[in-house]
Structure 1
Amino acid sequence: MTILNCAAMSCVHNEAGMCQAGYILIEGKDSTITTETKCSSYKPNKFINQVKALVNTNYVGEVKQLFSSMDKVKMNPQINCQASKCFFNSSGKCESRNVAISIDKSNQSKVMCETFVKSNNT
């Protein structure tokens, strides 16, 4: 299981640094560095996005998390990845055990995958 840590605290899916989305998508097909990636599942925490987020919520993970200690993360989304040049990308799925999502402090709408590592094969 991939453990996802999200620093985009303004995201509608962010719950104390954990992602309550059922799935996320990392874009950046031709990315060669972290800043060229994008978490397209990021949506600002506004009422309209809260309503839309209900479709992409990991309800089972949330219930499991409720009955677990905070040091055991149960609420992790499936991570789809279009960053074809990333070492951890395996046929469109992220194979990293730990994924970090961050937000650009100067551009709050720029949310990227900090785990991106350029593959030597590309």
Structure 2
Amino acid sequence: MAYLDCSVKSCTYNNEDGCCCKGDIQVEGREATEAQSTCCGSFKDRGTNGAACNALKDVSKEIDVACEATHCRFNENEKCHADHIGISGAGACTCGETECASFECNCKYE
């Protein structure tokens, strides 16, 4: 599990403290070679109703992160093994406007 810091306040799963109440997330960007080419595939726009995560669900900074970014040095068998992961995308309305700010290219292209 990675320590998550999510700054995407427009996401339904963000509890405003940078914690994700979804329980796990999916980082997308299979061919990414830079952070800007990744995104949080679990992002769900909070929208105009302002719906936030379920207050009954436990939130934690520790979270499982599935990762498609095959060129990231923290990706091991499609799981993120970084000690700390940051998801950014202030004002995001779609998952494509988010990114894994912790992405580091391993520069080993197939």
TM-score by length of 2: 0.81
Distance 1:26 1:2 in 2: 13
Unaligned runs of 5+ in 1: 66-73
TM-score by length of 1: 0.74
What percentage of aligned pairs have identical amino acids? 27
Q: CA deviation at 1:23?
A: 1.2
2:88 counterpart SS class: strand
Query: RMSD of aligned C-alpha atoms?
Result: 2.7
Aligned to 1:81: 67
Q: CA deviation at 1:21?
A: 1.1
Aligned to 1:118: 105
CA contact (8 A) 1:20 1:75 kept: no
Matching of residues 31-42 of structure 1 within 5 Å: 31-42=32-43
Which has the greater radius of gyration?
Answer: 1
CA contact (8 A) 1:21 1:76 kept: no
Aligned to 1:71: none
CA gap 1:91/1:28 in 2 versus in 1, 3 angstroms: same
Unaligned runs of 5+ in 2: none
